[in-house]
Chains A and B, each alone.
Chain A
Amino acid sequence: MLSELLSGSVPLQAYLLLAAVLFCTGVWGLINSRNAVRVLMSIELMLNAVNINLMSFSSYVDGQLIRGQVFSVFVITVAAAEAAVGLAILLSLYRNRVTVDMERFNLLRW
């Protein structure tokens, strides 16, 4: 990895580490956000981290068949559907509770 970095090209590991940073940031935001919209944004960050992984594997390991790129197109599709449904749920929650505070959405609590 270091020899590749010194010769000036970007190694695969650099992409994977970047995706790991992005994913961990997303996980932290998902756990700690009190605004429900920010939770959805954290989920988008995590999906993007997964996409970076898929794309870099597709370019470095599977250069001819690029199945990773096809998969990331599917991931983008599912993310769009998830965002639409998530925000619709958020809107109807807001209409019933007049808050977006995650701590007060406790309707299904034991």
Chain B
Amino acid sequence: MTIAASTQLICFLALSAVIVLGALGVVLLSNIVYSAFLLGGVFLAVAGLYLLLNASFVAAAQVLVYVGAVNVLILFAIMLVNKKEDLAPIPGLLIRRLLSGGVCVGLFALLTRVVVTTPWTKGPMPIGEEATVRIGEHLFTDYLLPFELASVLLLMAMIGAIVLARRDVLSEDPVTGEEVDQGLIEKARTPLLVDQPRA
């Protein structure tokens, strides 16, 4: 995809505005559902940036994995744990926020200095549309081991997520061997650690 340089610049400015404002919204908005949807917008804008960089495969992967899987997962988690609760006030919260804001601004200044002062060398011409073929070659030659490790990692994460999120339900009582009342299983278990006195 080759488009005129000025169009590219305008696209970049629009996408980066969406990304920056969306990220600020994700962090600052009080309603977490709005945050989740804005996060989806940020992911889509990042995919647009990848298209601008002539990386159509990674852009498609970004849309499929981030918008289609991670964002939906986050929305499901919000729905599962969405309980209106008044957060207990913490002393010194404002000071903490300002301090961490200062740290983040300092980090940004450091990164900006590195970016501006480093003499970046211009590499060879990007291959553009050939990128997908080249990624495939990489994945099956010199990055074969990380590729296989990534599949093992995904399998482990899937099993781990199932084990962690599973509700332990026994079909019969372990002591008496009687059938357990199914109505009891369906009810939410009494949480074990609520209001534990602070040590």
The reply to whether chain A is a binding partner of chain B is yes
Compute how far the CA of A104 lies from the CA of B43 in the bound complex, rounded to whole angstroms. Answer: 30
Interface residues of B in 156-199 (CB under 8 A from A): 156-158, 160-162, 164-165, 167, 189, 191-194, 198
Tell me whether A83 and B73 are in contact (CB under 8 A): yes
Which B residues touch A63, using CB under 8 A? 123-127
Task: Please give the distance in Å from B100's CB to the nearest CB on chain A.
Answer: 4
Instruction: Find B77's partner among A27, A29, A55, A91 (CB 8 Å cutoff).
Output: A91
User: Which residue from B12, B61, B74, B139 sits with its C-beta under 8 Å from A87?
Assistant: B74
Task: Judge whether B122 and A60 touch: CB under 8 Å.
Answer: yes
B121 contacts across to A, CB distance below 8 A: 61
User: Chain A: how many interface residues by the 8 Å CB criterion?
Assistant: 82
Q: How far is the CA of A103 from the CA of B49 in the complex (A)?
A: 36
Nearest CB in chain A: distance from B195 CB, A: 9
> What class of interface size applies to chain B in its complex with A?
35 or more
The binding surface of chain B is classed by DSSP as: helix
In the complex, the answer to whether A18 meets B101 with C-beta atoms within 8 Å is no
Q: Are B53 and A88 in contact (CB under 8 A)?
A: no
In the complex with contacts A55-B55, A98-B191, A62-B123 CB distance below 8 A:
yes
The interface residues of chain A lying within 8 Å CB-to-CB of B1 are none
Please measure, in the bound complex, the distance between the C-alpha atom of A109 and the C-alpha atom of B128, giving whole angstroms: 51
Complexed CA–CA distance, A25 and B8 (Å): 25
A98, B190: Cα distance in complex, Å:
10
Residues of chain B within 8 A (CB-CB) of A3 are none
CB <8 Å contact, B161 and A84:
yes
Residue contact B154 to A59, C-beta cutoff 8 Å: no
Task: Judge whether B35 and A66 touch: CB under 8 Å.
Answer: no
Q: List 7 A-B contacts (CB under 8 A).
A: A25-B26, A41-B36, A44-B66, A59-B53, A65-B138, A77-B150, A101-B87
20 further interface pairs, Cβ-Cβ under 8 Å (given A15-B49, A76-B58): A8-B6, A13-B120, A16-B111, A23-B111, A42-B26, A48-B42, A59-B54, A61-B123, A63-B125, A64-B123, A66-B55, A73-B61, A80-B65, A81-B153, A81-B157, A83-B70, A91-B164, A96-B191, A98-B83, A99-B85
Interface residues of B (CB under 8 A from A): 4-6, 8-9, 12, 16, 19-20, 23-24, 26-27, 32, 35-36, 39, 42-43, 46, 49-50, 52-55, 57-58, 61-62, 65-66, 69-70, 73-74, 76-78, 80-81, 83, 85, 87-88, 90, 96-97, 100-101, 103-105, 107-108, 111-112, 115-116, 120-127, 131, 134-135, 138-139, 143, 146, 150, 153-154, 156-158, 160-162, 164-165, 167, 189, 191-194, 198
